Chains A and B, each alone.
Chain A
Amino acid sequence: MNKETKRLLVNLFVLLLIIAAGILVYIFFFNREEEELTIEDTPIQIESIRTIAEISAVSFRDEVVMDTIERYDTDLSNFDPRKWMEWYEHGIKRRLTLIIKGEVKYGFDLTDDNYTIASDETTITLTLPAPKAIDVIVSPSDTEVFEEKGRWPESVRRNMEVRAQHQIEDAATRLNLEEKAKNNAERLFEKLIQTEKILIIEFQDHE
């Protein structure tokens, strides 16, 4: 073993020692499992109370991924050593990726007696309004921040969540859940209206 090789091995050994020491320092000082911050106990304010009569007949749950990226203006095809950090980060300057789960409930809004019942000696006719999306539900408990790089203004996140809400609603519309809601409502009212007469359930058209 010549002198140069010995020196190289010693250098490598020292380098490995430094790395090991760095890892130990990281584990001891920085790699702590942080406790989740808890919110303070503040009262809720009831802003309004409304009496409603909504029958939800179908529930549709969906999950969408919303991704927002801001890139560096660097041409990554030519490696420029001065911009190694941009190259290392694949040109991504900021990124926010959310996984949002939502639910759309289809049903009938019967608030303010928005239905009619007509009966004669042999028949009962129940006319319900056209089915519609009663609820489009997105809540924080069903939202996950998958990736967060850099700082984003609150409006960006808000827009992503609103777009996710629209996407989930559009997906529900494409599945023609109105027909399914009608079928389920028929089953439900047949169970509620126990009669020997002939029961006819009709639905109004969309306005």
Chain B
Amino acid sequence: MIMNKVTIYIILFVLITACSSSEKPADEVYKIRDIGQLSTTEYTVGKIIKVDDSNYDLTEFEWEEWTKLPKLPQYGDRRILISCKSKVKAGVDLSKIQDGDIKVIGSTIEIKLPPAEITSFSMDPRSVRTQMEDLSGYTDRFTEEEKTSFLKQGEEAILEDIGEYGILEDANNNAEAFLIDFYKQLGFEKVVVKRSITD
């Protein structure tokens, strides 16, 4: 009988503890695509990513709100500062030029450019540095997953803010200058570059 009990407890233990699942990472995939982008401006942008995870004050704790809390209250604060650098390029997509967008009349050429756009965004992993991580109380350190999420938000913020610094306007001006120079070298006396309205 004792053996039976032991067997049952062992089976229960194994059943309870052995349930773990692991997904297989996605297999390698690649994709080749034809593009025709002319990048004309490159901005190097720095940003300090700041996160303060100490917004819950235990002294203001109320039991009625317990079930509504987004997470368990922890005693302590977590703060982090991450610095990063990104390279943002902007230009025009020449593959969007349609047949009717280029008109040649004698020694004059008229070209209608598609609107300027961000052509590439990259954040060099070597430029990412945790400058400060402050923990107190019973808080956990920031996980790599959390840090990735902060960097993603930082990337979105950079792309959102950079428009205010006139990157697309610069890209348009530089694209125009490049094409005027290019067509003049081809022998055209007059080059008219028309811009599309930026999306």
Q: Known A37-B53, A96-B144; judge A162-B154 contact (CB<8 A).
A: no
Most chain A beta carbons < 10 A, residue from B25, B41, B95, B153: B25
A40 touches B52 (CB 8 A): yes
Which of A37, A54, A59: most chain B Cβ within 10 A?
A37
Query: Which parts of A1-54 form the interface with B (CB within 8 Å)?
Result: 4, 8, 11-12, 15, 19, 28-30, 32-54
**Is A117's beta carbon under 8 Å from chain B?**
yes
- A46-B43, A137-B122, A154-B130 given. 9 additional CB < 8 A pairs? A32-B70, A44-B158, A46-B45, A51-B41, A55-B36, A103-B120, A137-B121, A138-B123, A191-B97
Point out the residues of chain B lying under 8 angstroms from A4, CB to CB.
1
Does B94 contact A192, Cβ atoms closer than 8 Å?
Answer: yes
- Contact between A105 and B123 (Cβ–Cβ < 8 Å)? no
Task: Give the chain B neighbours of A148 by CB distance below 8 A.
Answer: 143-145
**With the chains together, A126 CA to B148 CA distance in Å?**
45
Chain B residue, CB-CB nearest to A116? B185
Q: Is A133 an interface residue (CB 8 A)?
A: no
Binary contact readout B145-159 vs A (1 if CB under 8 angstroms, 0 otherwise): 110111111111110
Count the B residues whose beta carbon is within 8 Å of the partner chain — how many? Answer: 88
Residues of A within 8 Å of B194, CB to CB, are none
Residues of chain B within 8 A (CB-CB) of A48 are 43-44
Interface residues on A, range: 35 or more
Q: Which residue of A lies closest to B98 (CB)?
A: A191
* Complex contacts, A45 vs chain B, CB 8 Å: 45-47
Say whether A57 contacts B34, CB under 8 Å. yes
| Contact call B72/A42, Cβ cutoff below 8 A | no
Q: Report Cα–Cα, A195/B162, bound state, in Å.
A: 39
- Binary contact track A72-113/B, C-beta < 8 Å → 1, others 0: 000000000000000010000000110100010101001001
Partner of A41, one of B26, B85, B157: B157
Q: How far is the CB of B185 from chain A (nearest CB, A)?
A: 4
Task: Assess whether B51 is interfacial by the CB under 8 Å rule.
Answer: yes
Contact of B69 among A15, A32, A117 (CB under 8 A): A32
Contact status B25-A51, CB under 8 Å: no
B12 within 8 A of A: yes
Contacting residues of chain B (164-190) with chain A, CB-CB under 8 angstroms = 165, 170, 174, 178, 181-182, 185-187
The verdict on A54 contacting B47 (CB below 8 Å), with A41-B157, A61-B31, A158-B128 known, is no
Question: B125 near A158 (CB under 8 angstroms)?
Answer: yes
Proximity string of chain B (96-109) to chain A, C-beta cutoff 8 Å, 1 when within and 0 when not: 01000010100001
A144 and B148 contact, CB distance less than 8 A: yes
> Which of A57, A151, A158, A192: most chain B Cβ within 10 A?
A192
- Contact check: which of B12, B72, B95, B125 meets A30 at CB < 8 Å? B72
Give the shortest distance, in Å, between A201 (CB) and chain B (any CB): 13
Which of these, A44, A61, A158, A193, contacts B46 with CB under 8 Å? A44
